Homo-oligomer: A and B are copies of this chain.
Amino acid sequence: MKRQITLAVLLLLCISSFSQQALWGGQNIISPEINSDNTVTFSLYAPNAAKVQVTGDFLPAKKTDTPYGKQDIPGLIDLKAGKDGLWKYTTPEPLKPELYSYSFIVDEFKTTDPNNVYLIRDVASVTNIFLVGGGHAGLYRVNEVPHGTVSRRWYYSPGLNMTRRLTIYTPAGYETSKKNYPVLYLLHGMGGDEEAWIALGRTAQILDNLIAQGKATPMIVVMPNGNVSQEAAPGESAQGLYKPGMQLPKTMEGSMETSFPDVVKFIDSEYRTVAKKSGRAIAGLSMGGFHSLHISKQYPDMFDYIGLFSAAIIQNKDARSPIYANFEGKLKIQFSKSPKLYWIGIGKADFLYKANEDYRKLLDKNGYKYTYYESEEGHIWKNWRIYLSEFVPLLFK
């Protein structure tokens, strides 16, 4: 202990190589910057670029021709070159509270923002995010409230003969209380996995905040992997760091639904749950809505609360699983047992709007009660976060 170094020298060392190894190339730029009036400024240092653009869901979507027909694609906006190679763009209007994602396009090359470390993977794409707080987006912030625990845990599924990964949220106080808690099973869409709801869906923040506000009953949230051919999210299984894709060999063919009681049994045996119908909810987005529909119908005594978020209520006529047989008969049994909440949410621009409308007609025709929530826009995470925020306060009351 012979060396005496002042704090200044120490900090200088820190900045150079004391740091972990990747600080070089760092730039002293804040991007994006949420201005006090909620306009947002994007900045990028690119002295050799001829053109820099930004795209993201903060821009109005445009109907665009694609190989799959007209689709809503976010627009592009040019950044303006300043001296010193710093490009900038400020939105002309304040942005509404929301969690947004965006990318830069430098001379036609789509890239992440090197000054923003907050990134989210959605299937095979990684984009930067930013949060304009207030309104419903206040629920997506980490606030000064008690925080639940988020665990990644593995369970064995006898039905699939696989060991599989789960994300589990337990509410603040779970570990020290002696109480039993109700459970929401929350399912992702095609291309997603057990990371989707916690990352893109802001589940932990929404639950922490709703519980702290007294608007939601403290509950456990279980986010399983809905791809039966996968043990875990990309990068989290022995498959290694492969490139994720949408098309999985086994999907929506019945085995996710058939094996679902394995998840419930595991949770009921390992956590202090309210292990009965009135203590269980199931909800999912898109493919996860399809799963929630079929699971809750197949096991009519398992869930008292069902949420279909932009549900893929479409039939795979190649699927031979008995899960899909006798659809209307099973629905009749399910509704004869009076589930406490059957909740349907869909956006007006969703390509599944018609499928959901047809399904509601079927429910109406039979006098089956449900709660309907119709939003703007389409098949996007913005809607799924809103649906979760609307759905959760209705549970376990």
Contact = CB atoms under 8 A, between A and B. Distances in A.
Interface of A is mostly: loop
A12 B130 CA distance: 31
A234 interface: yes
Interface stretch (A43-51, A218-226, A275-283, A338-346): A43-51
Nearest to A175: B270
B15 A241 contact: no
Contacts of A351: 13, 16-18
Nearest to A351: B17
B147 A318 contact: no
A243 to B, nearest CB: 6
Interface string A220-256: 0000000000001011111011011011000010000
Nearest to A67: B16
A84 to B, nearest CB: 14
Interface in A140-156: 141-144, 146-147, 149-154
A309 to B, nearest CB: 12
Nearest to A5: B314
A381 interface: yes
A14 B119 contact: no
A6 B22 CA distance: 49
Contacts of A151: 149-152
A163 B7 CA distance: 27
A108 interface: yes
A372 interface: no
Contact of A313 (B1, B131, B192, B244): B1
Contacts of A13: 314, 351
Contact of A68 (B1, B15, B237, B381): B15
Contacts of A114: 110-111, 125-126
A394 interface: no
Contacts of A161: none
Contacts of A129: 241
Contacts of A66: 16, 24
Contacts of A142: 232, 235-238, 240
A312 interface: yes
B101 A22 contact: yes
For the complex of A and B, the 10 pairs showing the least CB-CB separation, nearest first, are A16-B68, A22-B122, A22-B125, A151-B151, A149-B153, A111-B111, A20-B122, A147-B154, A7-B318, A48-B107
26 contacts: A5-B317, A7-B317, A12-B68, A14-B191, A19-B123, A20-B122, A22-B125, A22-B127, A23-B124, A24-B71, A46-B109, A47-B108, A106-B109, A110-B114, A111-B114, A112-B112, A112-B126, A114-B125, A117-B234, A117-B243, A142-B232, A142-B240, A143-B238, A146-B163, A149-B151, A149-B154
